[in-house]
Amino acid sequence: MRISKRRWLAAMSMLSMLLVMSNGGCATKPAPSPEDRPCWVGIIDSETAMLLRAQSRRLEVKAGDLVQTPECARQMSRDLLNETYELTR
């Protein structure tokens, strides 16, 4: 009788853990704010790349290049600078 009681308690605890874990996946996520937009907002097509190259000879724009938001570019630059500092310290 004692063995079956242990098994029953173990099964109940496993069941309760599974219920808690499965319920956590159903939580609703908050709506994204405008500041939480993705870093990569577009891809340059061949026509736009041609127009940008014609407008400025210095730009090396190719079809398929990604368009990044300025804030993400600044953040990536800061992260790279901090990582380089940490590695060379």
Q: What is the pLDDT of residues 21-75, one digit of tens each?
A: 555 555 555 555 555 667 878 899 999 999 988 988 888 889 999 888 888 889 8
Residue 51 lies in a domain: yes
Selected residue with higher pLDDT from 65 and 6: 65
Average pLDDT over residues 4-31: 62
| 75 lies in some domain | yes
Total structural domains within the chain? 1
Report yes or no on 79 lying in a domain: yes
> Mean pLDDT across the stretch 3-9?
69
Domain assignment of residue 33, yes or no: no
CA gyration radius, the chain? 27
Whether 36 maps to a domain, the answer reads: no
Its domain, for residue 59, covers 2-27+41-88
